[in-house]
Amino acid sequence: MRIQPTELKERIIAIDVMRGFALLGIFVVNMLFFHTPYIYINPYTWFQIPGDFEVFKWIDIFVQGSVYPLFSMLFGYGLAMQFMKTQEKGASFTKLAVRRLLILLVIGCIHAFLIWSGDILITYALAGLVLILMMRLKPVWLLLISAILFIVPMGFLNGLVYLMAKIDPNSVVIYTAIQKIEASIIAYSQGSWVDVFWQRLDDWLYMTQYGAIILTILFMIVPFLLVGAAAAKLKLIERARELKLFWIITIIITLAAGTAIKWLPFLTEANALTASVQDTFGGPLQAIAYAGIIALICTIPFMQKLLSPIAKAGRMSMTIYLMQSIIATTIFYAYGFGLYGQIDIRTGTWMAIGIYVLQIVFAEVWFMKFKQGPVESLWRKLTYSNISLKKDEKG
């Protein structure tokens, strides 16, 4: 049986709105990396201008570490929805999903090594392949495995950092790598395309901890995908109106706890321990709260219409995400306008917001004529072309 992509009438607007808002948050955070050697600095001491530090502070508390878990959960949610759709049609899910994720992996590699080192698509593709192995599990098992994969290693790691801080406080100091900062500024603002490529590769290796990306995928991203898949099987977003009390209680608890944790580096000493706890535990809690807030808002018909432009951006999330990288690197890298290292955080943040607004306009215009974003359309053609799906024997 041939399985087709989700039709417009089958879409859940709340999910698209969540993706749309997450894309804005991701771009605001990523902009720090686009215009500044952010991965090599101590952000809590680097921004000396009061206005810049305040902007960083609010991004750090309410956006950074909170939007990527939300997007990851939505990725798992979407993958689980595709699984349930194939189950209803009595078709095989695995062959289609693996092919779809392998194509995503190729797109991610192109993005990471030829456009921008901060790619997340490689991580999603590999984590998605792990999720496929557990997709048939019941929601309770998905949540249990997610908790074990996340809380146990992350708790152990942060506990170890805590012990290190007690033994030697200097071991948790966040250092600024001056030489790497200088190399980044020279390569990105003045270097040739080859110089930019090698710097991009060096940055990617540094951000993925030279191979530790596998551990990151298994213990950080996969758990979020599992939560999203469990939520999809329980239809927590589709049933938001019915589950209003559940969502209100969840929002209050997760938003309060998550935001309190996210304040840690600013209320105590900002070091590797407080920064790690902040993003590891505070970010995901906020992400759940943000999802709940949007789910409830989207139960109001008027708000659905009002947020329709954001939903359209969410419908073409892959296109928007890649466009952001292409636009930003063109502005800041040497093969474009070469403004790397010359933009302050406040200006960069407003640039991200302005570009995103233009992307919303682009999405509005695009969907007047087409049903999918350009990259989504290509992904669809590569995924569904020449596939003959056999009926799932267990279906």
- The domains of the chain are located at 14-234+296-384
Given this model, what pLDDT does residue 387 score?
Answer: 53
Beta bridge partner(s), residue 337 = none
Highest-pLDDT range among 343-347, 382-386, 391-395: 343-347
**Total number of residues shown for the chain:** 395
pLDDT at 326 over 50: yes
Integer Cα distance of 50 and 288 in angstroms: 31
Q: How many CB atoms lie within 10 A of CB 305?
A: 11
Check if the beta carbon of residue 254 is closer than 8 Å to that of residue 289. yes
Which of 61-75, 162-176, 222-236, 306-320 is the least confident region? Answer: 162-176
DSSP 223-248: HHHHHHHHHHHHTTTTTTTTTHHHHH
Q: Give the mean pLDDT of 161-175.
A: 90
Q: Is 157 exposed, middle or buried (0-12, 13-18, 19+ CB in 10 A)?
A: middle
pLDDT band for position 8 (cuts 50, 70, 90): very low
CA distance 20 to 356: 10
Q: Answer yes or no: are the C-beta atoms of 265 and 44 closer than 8 Å.
A: yes
Q: CB neighbours of 36 closer than 8 A, spacing ≥ 6?
A: 340, 341, 343, 345, 348
Residue 219, classified by CB atoms within 10 Å of its CB into exposed (0-12), middle (13-18) or buried (19+), is middle
Q: Calculate mean pLDDT across residues 45-52.
A: 85
CA angle 47, 50, 56 (to 5 degrees): 55
> Which is more confidently placed, 378 or 391?
378
Mean pLDDT for 232-257 is 97
What does the pLDDT average to over 268-294?
96
pLDDT, position 389: 43
Residue 232 has pLDDT above 50, yes or no: yes
Q: How confident is the model at residue 213 (pLDDT cuts 50, 70, 90)?
A: confident
Query: Above 50 in pLDDT, residue 9?
Result: no
Q: Worst-scoring range by mean pLDDT, 163-167, 241-245, 285-289?
A: 163-167
pLDDT one-digit tens code per residue, 53-74 = 999 999 999 999 999 999 999 9
Does residue 5 surpass a pLDDT of 60? Answer: no
Facing residues of 391 across strands? 91
Nearest C-alpha neighbor of 133 from the set 67, 233, 225? 225
Contacts of 195 (CB under 8 A, 6+ apart): 186, 187, 334
Least confident range of 227-231, 280-284, 320-324, 389-393: 389-393
Bridge partners of 91, per DSSP, are 391
Instruction: Report pLDDT for 394.
Output: 41
